[in-house]
Structure 1
């Protein structure tokens, strides 16, 4: 075989290996970055079922599919290009934007906690009367997509920061690939899970009409779903406060603003952990949650004094099914 052809084949093989390695790098980077968004993802999954609660069961999955498409549109059409432009021309803005998102997460978490403690749900905007079920559905989807935009922006900002600060990928197209993978994977994970959750009671009801062990399992599933939704709400609130506080803490450190707070939590984790990574993580998590609560409480007081209520709530109180028929 001519040596020139051998060299050409070697070059092709090298290019193929490089391309495969690049794909692996993008996937690995996406995995690491996606893990950082866990708290926001949990909250997203916890919040979304409320937008179909009380609606016609036949419309639950179509509504979730509409929200899923809206979420993908938010991430891929609007937020991904914005993130790439930010990375290319104004990387110094990443942490301030992250801190804005972290502040929102902490604010939402603290507001939910205060509502539970006081029983005051004034912050929840009551959904205006709709003339038709279609109009009501459109409003619920619009509110869900609007809330998703805020959570999606935080997911993309966290991902971008992880990619750039850790040097996981280099180049605009590699960053775009990793961001797109995280965007699609997180969206499908969240709304696929939500779709399963909202249909669990229907699955349980169907099984309960059978006999024997199947019927018993179905009845157990029906009893379990409300507890699952409550647990998701609690976990989502805790995750928001922890993630929001963690972002604020790292923002303090990176921007050299209230840096002593970050140092205090970091040193406390090292002193208590004594080299035990699990204990250090727990202490850091508790410290971040405390910071998130304090920061969120301050913002709640400011927002309440200015607006008198939460200015961004887009959803509404669940509407009884009887009202839609």
Structure 2
């Protein structure tokens, strides 16, 4: 009997330790996730533009495909690679993030170039949906998952930096909770945004009360403008986040001049305003980071078009020929 009681005591002690570990993981994940809130907002702002223009029946399936790609990015690629690099090659993380930030700048600048260059606009026009909706959907989903990879890398890196040093398993469990929680939050929000017009239409047509029908009609009328705003914010977020990543990376590598100039200008601007200095300092920093990101992106467009893409195509062609032989 005493042996059974001792066994039960051991089981109870193990259960307490397990419960404490779960509490620690959840607590650390909540703290780490809150530090990555800025990148989370960027992710939520960027994604709706990839769904814009498709038939309503395809909106949620596209969001679901991107969400699955995001979870795959975080759990299969970024989590193990991040933990290993943090453990053995921490100096590699900053250059890799800078490459990702430069890609965001390139993509954001390309979106802006498409607006002002008529021969680029065709790729995003509704007529392409009629010509080849499947191909366009694949293209959009692929682009969204690539962009998510960069933003997810930033989120996971920020989260990892906020987790107290401990066992690699505790860090892995915490990062996994952060990855799943943030993905659900981001793409759940995106799903609500892209289907709001359908909900509004149902309320306008089937609402029992006039106030319900009025609200539904207001939602339907507001959604096209909201989607345009989100697309604009998403493009701006690419430039802001990408520029910020590159600037902070340069600072980490010892090139502090750009960071210092932006910091001084932003805080000088906030001090001149004299009220809500923290907000205006952030706004000034984000604006200047975005301008830097736009300039860098515009520089990268010809570099990618005339250098990287032809070189990559040549490499792929050589591998294809080798594989064929």
What range is the shorter-chain TM-score in? 0.7 to 0.9
The aligned counterpart of 1:318 is none
Give the Å deviation of 1:198: 1.8
The aligned counterpart of 1:64 is 63
The aligned counterpart of 1:230 is 228
5 Å-filtered alignment, 1:85-124, equals 85-116=84-115, 118=116, 120=118, 122=120
Give the Å deviation of 1:225: 0.7
Pick closer, same or farther for the CA change 1:242–1:29 going to 2, 3 Å: farther
The separation in 1 between residues aligned to 2:223 and 2:166, in whole angstroms, is 44
Give the Å deviation of 1:18: 4.7
Cα deviation 1:249-303 (Å, max 9, x = unaligned): 321221112x1222334455666559x9962453144224313422431332232
Give the TM-score, by structure 2 length.
Answer: 0.75
The aligned counterpart of 1:150 is 147
Cα deviation 1:158-189 (Å, max 9, x = unaligned): 4234423x453422112211221222112212
Pick closer, same or farther for the CA change 1:255–1:136 going to 2, 3 Å: same
The separation in 1 between residues aligned to 2:32 and 2:142, in whole angstroms, is 23
The aligned counterpart of 2:240 is 242
Q: Which has the higher contact order (CA 8 A, sep 6+)?
A: 1
Pick closer, same or farther for the CA change 1:125–1:310 going to 2, 3 Å: farther
CA contact (8 A) 1:122 1:309 kept: no
Q: Which runs of 5+ in 2 are unaligned?
A: 310-325
Cα deviation 1:112-150 (Å, max 9, x = unaligned): 44544x3546277469999999x8347514631443233
CA contact (8 A) 1:97 1:157 kept: no
Give the Å deviation of 1:95: 1.0
Pick closer, same or farther for the CA change 1:123–1:184 going to 2, 3 Å: farther
Pick closer, same or farther for the CA change 1:130–1:290 going to 2, 3 Å: closer
Q: Secondary structure at the match of 2:120?
A: coil
Does 2:137 match 1:140? yes
Does 2:176 match 1:190? no
Higher helix share: 2
CA contact (8 A) 1:248 1:292 kept: no
Pick closer, same or farther for the CA change 1:171–1:266 going to 2, 3 Å: farther
Pick closer, same or farther for the CA change 1:55–1:150 going to 2, 3 Å: closer
CA contact (8 A) 2:49 2:227 kept: no
The aligned counterpart of 2:298 is 300
The count of corresponding residues between Structure 1 and Structure 2 is: 305
The aligned counterpart of 1:216 is 214
5 Å-filtered alignment, 1:165-204, equals 166=162, 168-204=164-200
Q: Secondary structure at the match of 2:166?
A: coil
Give the Å deviation of 1:6: 8.0
The aligned counterpart of 1:314 is none
The aligned counterpart of 1:255 is 253
Give the Å deviation of 1:97: 1.4
Give the TM-score, by structure 1 length.
Answer: 0.75
Pick closer, same or farther for the CA change 1:243–1:66 going to 2, 3 Å: closer
The aligned counterpart of 1:319 is none
Q: Secondary structure at the match of 2:164?
A: coil
The separation in 2 between residues aligned to 1:226 and 1:132, in whole angstroms, is 20
Cα deviation 1:53-78 (Å, max 9, x = unaligned): 34332333233223322322222222
Give the Å deviation of 1:222: 0.4
The separation in 1 between residues aligned to 2:43 and 2:137, in whole angstroms, is 15
The separation in 2 between residues aligned to 1:111 and 1:280, in whole angstroms, is 31
Q: Which runs of 5+ in 1 are unaligned?
A: 312-325
RMSD: 3.9
The separation in 2 between residues aligned to 1:30 and 1:296, in whole angstroms, is 33
